[in-house]
Structure 1
Amino acid sequence: MPLDTVSETTHRSWLQRLGAAFTGVVAGLVIVVLGIGLLAWNEGRAIARARGLSEGGRGVIVAPLARIDPANEGRLVHLSGPLRVEGRREDPISGVAADGVSLRRDVEYYQWVETSRSETRTRLGGGEETVTTYDYRTDWSATPVASADFHTPAGHENMTPPLEGAVVSAQEGRLGSYRVDHRLLDTVAPTVPVAVTEADAQRLSAALSRPVWVVNDALYVGANSAVPAVGDMRIRYVAAPAGAVSVVAAQRSGGLEPFLTRNGEEIYLTAAGAVTADEMFRQARDGNRMLSWVLRVVGIVGLILGLGLIMGPLSTLADVLPPVGSLVRFGTGALAFVGGLAIGVIVIAVSWFLVRPVFAACSLVVLVAVVGGVIWFRGRRPAAAAIIAPKP
């Protein structure tokens, strides 16, 4: 429930709105250009990545863990086995330590949080009235909130956090006889909660000059965990165990580095547990396809938004009579959607022709042949029916 609410009403004249709409036209043109560029670049990126993965999948070999074979120097190898790291990871502030690849410190802050909601009404003559309501409440959040950015910072001041989340990681490890660095180590996710002790609380209390308690497997920074105050913190630790991993990379000088394919793509694949090379390449291809579709959607949505901004002045002009403005806004929105979708599909198709001209040309020939065959068959049916029809 909000603890504090502030409302503000702002007015914009029709001329002010019209000026902002024409400024939006410029922004819309920029967004359209960026959307077209993103779609074109994405098709080239996706195909280059697919070709690189195809080359890697054909050339990868399974290398032994127990020894490094000089004959595999520079080649793409697949390794799977237990990861080893030396020493323990330790938080330099609290002294909390754990075995494994990394130790992550997660911090939650009890602080003021601002949310807002707006209601806009268009007046006769094209003017606009907006009522914005700002709600302020205290809550736990994993991200520090700068109260100076609030609409009403007075009475809702947050402290500058003395401690933030951090990760302490091993810099080097071993996978069998191979040396591995952060490129593999950073892919091992922290999953194991680390227990904290009263000694950890005392060390952190001395470092922060504030009372610290052990509460529900966390270090609580504050006077009373039952009655939290703005500025209190909850700190938990999670470790990344050094378990089994799989990697596909280039063997080089006793270590593992990204493999460079003939078309310039880098291959450095990792997975938790024992995973075959075929499965890792399949996952990489699936990820490439997923990223391609995500970027296509982003590009097309950008085109739709950009076209909407370009046509924005039309609805603003019509807002002199609000019902007419709403009707025009619906029409321009529909046009922006259809236009953005059409432009996006055209850009993707043209990009395919430019990046894969042979494949695209063959696809076009097949499509034309199918369409021509359907038209020819439909044209032959009346003639065939006339031939076999009995005479009266």
Structure 2
Amino acid sequence: MAGMSARRPGVAAKAPVRFTASRSFRIALWLHRWTGLIAAPFFLILCISGTILIFHEEIDEGFGYATHTDAASPGTPPRPLSEIVAAALATAPARRPLALVFDADHPERVTVSLVEPGARAFDGAKPVVLDRYRGTAIEAPDPRSTPTGIILTLHANWFLGLPGELAGGVVALLVVICLVSGIVIYGPFIRGLAFGLIRRGRGERLRQRDLHNFLGTVTLGWALLVSATGVTLALGDIALKVWQATELQRLAATHGGHKREAGPIAGSGSSLDAVRAAAEAAKPGWRTSLMLYPGSAFSTERHFTVLLVGPEGLQKRLFEIALVDAADARVAEIAALPWYLVVTQLSQPLHFGDYGGLPLKLLWTACAWFTLFITGNGAWLWFARHPRRRKARDDERGVRQAA
């Protein structure tokens, strides 16, 4: 018959191979379904808390948790850092200074972290914010106790410390797998359809699936970025411990020095201002972000560790480390960050979207809420996949209860 190809008698026609029946498609579908379902409740919490953290500055300001300082008179020189530390110690004489933190957005402020004698890390540290020009303490809430600080702890580690960070990293990794597998299974579902087409009048489940595919495609790049950076941030503490065990040990072995009790430098040592000036002179244009005392978990027994941040571009998001001798303010070495800490540092602004002003914050928020919808919509699609079978079970259950 015209229009039909001839077939040999007794030979059945070979059925066309459908991509949806391939093993790779079935594996991708299984991964997409189950990684999405497992991650869904945790990812919903992370999306909501992350959206709040995008506007943490505005929220702190609105609820009165922002710290305000009066402007100093023009030409007023900053107080020596030794006076700043002394003023901080006056608020807690039994403690000792571990670090000085300089606020880039508010250069009139410096925070002194005070710890118990013998402590080498920031666990249990008491931050004291001081006015650099007046040398007086500024009333400021502990950022860890503010509403946004509590939400940050939830978002970062589920109130569980390092185990919680790793658990959050696992959730982010599941989301990455869900997204990548979604790319694999997306093609067969939209074959022959215009991009963004939402089919109506053919059942709610089909309409929701079209919405799922469309919004998932629109937000795919953002979701991959946020999830991948979530994985790297979850490994941040481990990366820091690796740096301590390798690079910091190398610095200590290279520049050495006798062991002594961790604590402030003796009066015969260099002043804090001299240490800071020496570090900044060794890296012109870079400014001090953090000064760690010798004997801390992040410095050698005889050197200050000074973190220097760059003047512009990506350099403002990175830092280099100056090792400054406490005795004579000599810069022993300027050390660049290893690649894994560079990745961690760059992941933070990309994850939270807090580097491009209000327009970027609004974009991050919109993408987060679209992703929230996709997450809930995907769970509904799984639940509603066999409506007739489920209705029959519900009817049977109702008959049994009535009997």
Question: What range describes the TM-score normalised by the shorter chain of this pair?
Answer: under 0.3
**Greater strand share, 1 or 2?**
1
Q: Which has the higher contact order (CA 8 A, sep 6+)?
A: 1
Bigger CA radius of gyration: 1
Structure with greater helix percent:
2
